[in-house]
Structure 1
Amino acid sequence: MHLVTPAVAEPVPGWVDNMNGPTGVLIGAGKGVIRSMICNGELKSEVIPVDIAINGLILIPYHNSRVKQKPALIPVYNLTIDDAKKRTWKWIMDVGRELGIKYPFEVGLWYPDGNMTSSKVYHTFCSIMFMWLPAYIIDFLLAIFGQRRFMVRVQTKISVGLEVLQFFTTRNWDFKSTHFEQIYNDITEEDRKIFKINTNDVDDYEYMKISILGGRQYVLKEPLTSLPKSRIQLRFMYVLDRVCKTLITGGFIYWAAKSLGLIDLVSHGIEAVGKR
């Protein structure tokens, strides 16, 4: 029950070949497509880099083949990282948002400004207003101009992925990895260098950075040379986002004030002062 994340070192730092799990969330949020997800930010994440997991799968049979005295019971190995290295989902999302702005993806749907919540009601509202509604509007405009529609299809895939992911992000997991840790203690220093299964020397912030850049390069095929252009596009999206939010908020306040008669009340008050 672990989510596999981009590689720490092999074959190259940040390597990943799909958008499943946290990688898909980081990319979707960075592109401005994912605006909300159900997640308990205080829970610790159960994730493991893909190369650490593969090295562990290789070392387990290798280690067992060299054990002189076989155990009476077949041991169970939980491939996981050390408890002290497990970050909360809130930390992952906050750092992912920060790094997503420092190293933006090419042309996103909107400025990356989503949020996570444990409220299904609030999540449903945000999904309808900021994910599904824009998707249908964009597809409608594409249909008018004779272009191929794709946003609703993309949004459907994202929703399915988020529903699977929330099974992990809303539950507390406690996997004991005593047997897996024992392998690290038993193997030689040379084997430890060849087959890395310990992440104690990995800087979490730097790993998040290479994970985002890895998703950018290996999944989206966006070269690092496009970063300056992407930063300019992101600044434009930021201004557009703030302008739209200001207009929408201002329009709502005006409508509410008009409906409650506050506009007429203020107008009459100004007229009365003027006559004096």
Structure 2
Amino acid sequence: MKDAPNTYTISKAIGEDIVAKAMDSLPAVIMRPTIVISMWKDPIPGWTDNINGPAGSIIAFGTGVLRSIYARKDMNADFVCVDVVADNVLVLGAYSVQNQIPNKVFNISSHNQITVTWKQCQELSIKLNKERIPFDIFLWVPSGMTRNSRLMHYIDVLLWQYIPALIIDMFLPLFGYKPMLWQVQLRVMKAMSVLEFYYNNEWTFLNDASVKATAWLNAKELGKYTLSQSEIVPEEFMTNQIFGLRRYILKEPDENIPKSRRLMSIMIWVDRIGSIILKLILAYLFYRFVISKMCNLL
């Protein structure tokens, strides 16, 4: 694959190249959306039908399965909502033909519209999962770290994902359940390894050509088609996205949210108490085997 990170990027490039070569005889327009995410507002805010990309990470963090990602904290995440993509497709096709646009290649991106980093996305989704919209089923309190260091990331994964998964799998047969968390961890980390390329690189997709189409629309059309994401409020959008993942992916009814909040509150206290106990044990061991021996030597 040479320098391509995966087969997905290769297949897109090949398909685009085929269309570009046939453009002289084919009425076609090439549109390049960046990372497509859940619906913004029309017709169903938060709607999605898959867990590709950021949606899968939100579920993994929200259920306590994922605790760390290897990503550059300051990298901007260029997302575009699926309804914005659909509106751009409808408008740009007509716009390019009626205005005889010579370069029929359009980037559909959030460039100069909204800026958000991977770390901000992670922190916001975890905050909402903990405080307002927990999932019905979660293993532990949502938490996570964005690591610039691959070594620190692997240490986090080992301590807070792999080892707990193995320990829990050892006890599951005692309660009549099959071991499963280790396999879940392997699948999650495989998916995350695919995303690492995008988490640690940043591109600027100029969208000037597609933005110009906004001026071409009349007042009625401007109310019907949304071509820009400049009015997105990150917390409001993330709230709708988590609701969408609950409803359309996890099939969790909204009526369960109060119960899930109560369970989350209990788990938060269990997590705090467990953390205190662990720190006390580590402090005792440090005193018992390090400080006491140093005192004896003196």
For normalisation by structure 1, the TM-score amounts to 0.88
Q: Which of 215, 225, 231 in structure 1 is aligned with 2:261?
A: 231
Secondary structure at 2:69's aligned position in 1?
strand
Q: Which has the larger radius of gyration?
A: 1
1:219 to partner: Cα distance: 1.1
Equivalent residues in 2 for 1:45-64, closer than 5 Å:
45-64=77-96
Q: Deviations over 1:6-33 (max 9, x none)?
A: 1011330000111111111111111111
Q: Which of 242, 257, 262 in structure 2 is aligned with 1:212?
A: 242
The residue identity in structure 2 corresponding to 1:20 is N
Q: Which of 204, 209, 230 in structure 2 is aligned with 1:179?
A: 209
**Does 2:191 correspond to 1:188?**
no
| C-alpha distance in 1 between matches for 2:252 and 2:159 | 29
**Does 2:231 correspond to 1:201?**
yes
1:64 to partner: Cα distance: 2.0
Q: Deviations over 1:91-146 (max 9, x none)?
A: 22222222112211113100112111111111000101111111222222223444
Report the count of equivalent residues.
Answer: 263
Q: Give unmatched runs, 5+ long, in structure 2.
A: 1-32
Secondary structure at 1:42's aligned position in 2?
coil
Q: Given that residues 2 and 47 in structure 1 are in contact (C-alpha distance below 8 angstroms), is that contact kept between their aligned partners in structure 2?
A: yes
Equivalent residues in 2 for 1:74-89, closer than 5 Å:
74-89=103-118
Comparing 145-154 with 14-23, greater Cα deviation is found at: 145-154
**Does 2:122 correspond to 1:93?**
yes
RMSD: 2.0
Instruction: Tell me the equivalent position of 1:158.
Output: 188
The residue identity in structure 2 corresponding to 1:46 is D
**Does 2:136 correspond to 1:106?**
yes
| C-alpha distance in 1 between matches for 2:251 and 2:101 | 48
| C-alpha distance in 1 between matches for 2:214 and 2:190 | 37
| C-alpha distance in 1 between matches for 2:137 and 2:101 | 57
Q: Given that residues 111 and 205 in structure 2 are in contact (C-alpha distance below 8 angstroms), is that contact kept between their aligned partners in structure 1?
A: no
Q: Given that residues 47 and 241 in structure 2 are in contact (C-alpha distance below 8 angstroms), is that contact kept between their aligned partners in structure 1?
A: yes
Q: Which of 21, 38, 50 in structure 2 is aligned with 1:18?
A: 50
Secondary structure at 1:78's aligned position in 2?
strand
Secondary structure at 1:158's aligned position in 2?
helix
Secondary structure at 2:146's aligned position in 1?
strand
Secondary structure at 1:77's aligned position in 2?
strand
1:265 to partner: Cα distance: 4.8
| C-alpha distance in 2 between matches for 1:35 and 1:234 | 17
Instruction: Tell me the equivalent position of 1:135.
Output: 165
Q: Deviations over 1:157-180 (max 9, x none)?
A: 211221122211211211111111
The residue identity in structure 2 corresponding to 1:134 is P
CA 1:174–1:248: 2 relative to 1, 3 Å: same
Q: Deviations over 1:57-107 (max 9, x none)?
A: 22222222322x452xx3321111242412122222222222112211113
Secondary structure at 2:189's aligned position in 1?
helix
For normalisation by structure 2, the TM-score amounts to 0.82
Q: Deviations over 1:172-220 (max 9, x none)?
A: 2111111111122222232232222222223222111111111111111
Q: Given that residues 258 and 264 in structure 1 are in contact (C-alpha distance below 8 angstroms), is that contact kept between their aligned partners in structure 2?
A: no
Sequence identity of aligned pairs in percent?
26
Secondary structure at 1:83's aligned position in 2?
coil
Instruction: Tell me the equivalent position of 1:3.
Output: 35
| C-alpha distance in 1 between matches for 2:37 and 2:101 | 33
CA 1:39–1:264: 2 relative to 1, 3 Å: closer
Q: Give unmatched runs, 5+ long, in structure 1.
A: 267-276
CA 1:70–1:32: 2 relative to 1, 3 Å: closer
